Structure 1
Amino acid sequence: MTQSADTAPDQVARLLALVPYLLARGEVRLDDAATHFGTDADQIERDLRLLFMTGLSPGLPGDLIEVDLEALEGDRIIRVDNADYLARPVRFSPAEATALVVALRTMVEAAPTEARDVIERTLAKLEEAAGQDGEGLLRLHVTPTPLEASAVRPTLEAAIEHGHQVEITYHVPSRDQASQRVVDPRGLARVEEVLYLDAWCHTAQGDRAFRVDRILSATELDTPVLDPGARARDLTGGWFTDAETTTVTLRLAPPARWVVEYYPVTAQRPGPDDTVDVDLEVASEQWVQSLLLRLAPHATLLAPAAYAQAFTEAAQSTLSLYQADGVDS
């Protein structure tokens, strides 16, 4: 399993934590900051140079965060200025706080054990503050669905926490079959009203998203997962289904590189002429064709060959409709 490279969401999350970290310490050695955030010094330096373009509206020079480049390049010490507003308490409007509470209530049901306590404490503070302001709107609760109350969920959560493999019996309705699989669980994700297990499946030799309500049984094994550092994918985009998926390889030119940021790419490799080859797990050939039409002419479907041939035929058929009407392609 190949780990994907640092993405824009990764960098944004790090920047949001980096600035308060630096403000609390005054100055920090570049290597120490890299160690703290689990990355290398070059990446932290790229993050800091991005800070020059961030700040308060309207974005005039005096509104932007300042980084002491002389200290950074000379002594490899980080100093930031003009970012004190990030350390001030945030005040939410009732509508903003309500939306945040609803989102947190949804997250807490599928959150890992170590994160659940943090989310619940945050909810308690928000609801207490809302009560002091006389705003009862925030006292909202999301009732767990039967899917989330599944008997196998505690076993899955324990295996994720321990970094152990799980043997599951999974029912596939389209074939009315139950199959036994050994998987490396990564995380649980709620998509709309359905809870999914994101995992590497050793039977299919690929990433899979299993509906928890279709896992008939689950047994935590003593064997550790093969890749303890693997991160759970973002399954909230709604582009996948729980059917058997197919690995699709795309070659993306620079204008199409946004795919890496918006879809869970399982692997990526440098391609020729500043392109990048990416692998995605997809459940629908039609979805792939739709994506390629959006990306044209900046993407090429490398595999599987059957998908590539079908897309070429579909594109030629579409072009022929324009040519039949006397429209030049």
Structure 2
Amino acid sequence: MSSARERLTRLLSLVPYLDAHPGADLEETAAYFGIDSDTLIDDLQLLFVTGRPGHMPDDLIDASWEGGQIFISNAEEVSVPVRLSAEEAGVLVLALDMLSSLPGLDSEAVATAASKLRVAAGENLRTAVDVSPIDADEELLSALRQSVEDGSALSIDYYVGSRDELTTRTIAPTRLVPGADWYVDAWCYSAGAPRRFALGRIRSWEPAAHPPMSVSEATTNSYEVTLGLAAGGAWLADELDVTNREYLDGGDTSVRIRLLVHSVDWLSRFLLCHADVITEIDDTEAVAAALRRLG
């Protein structure tokens, strides 16, 4: 069964399609939208209560499919294909520009998609769409990308605003993350745990050797765990070092992820912070550590 979001998306495409193809074959239309004929009929029946506010007969869409041919009427206001607003187009172009800066992607394909979107949005909106990615020090970005690719470490001077303090740390970057600022996820040897650093707060940097691990770190190798996240916690998948994600068949946004973990101690604290949205985990050691913290 389709989720409410999937059905709404399909209906917004179905009406202009049927308006442009009067007498469309029922079975062929269902196949075109990747559904069966019974689901399509359910969608057509929903159109009878869809239309402008007022709910008078002339306000609602009319549909018929007798003889296997589909006809709709009174659907002029929703028969135009959905188009992006200026804000939506700008956000997508900005996202593509940021993606082109990340390592491991086909930058040429991303740039081509962004270029096509700019042209299409400009034609639709009759105005130029001009957005730029987040400003960041190009030398710093280049150093971090190189560090991510070859697994090297960096020594950074990092400003902590909450304490008005400039700290020196040795980090092993794992990935770059665009957001309100550019961020880098890294193993911080000073904290002995994964950390996320804002590039705007990195004052200086230089190559560094990986420090020798402490006894506790040496006994805790990086490993992967499987976590299930309820719909209310699905956003966490975008904040973590996820190696795989699978959206569950529940009609919502619940998700199962594979997560790279560097420390049982960190994972146990994560479990306690987000216990209300975690539906499953295959790491009994971390669960036991979390329970000990509660005790």
Report the TM-score, using the length of structure 2 for normalisation. 0.48
Looking at both structures, which has the greater relative contact order when contacts are Cα pairs under 8 Å and sequence separation is at least 6? Answer: 1
Larger Rg: 2
Report the TM-score, using the length of structure 1 for normalisation. 0.44
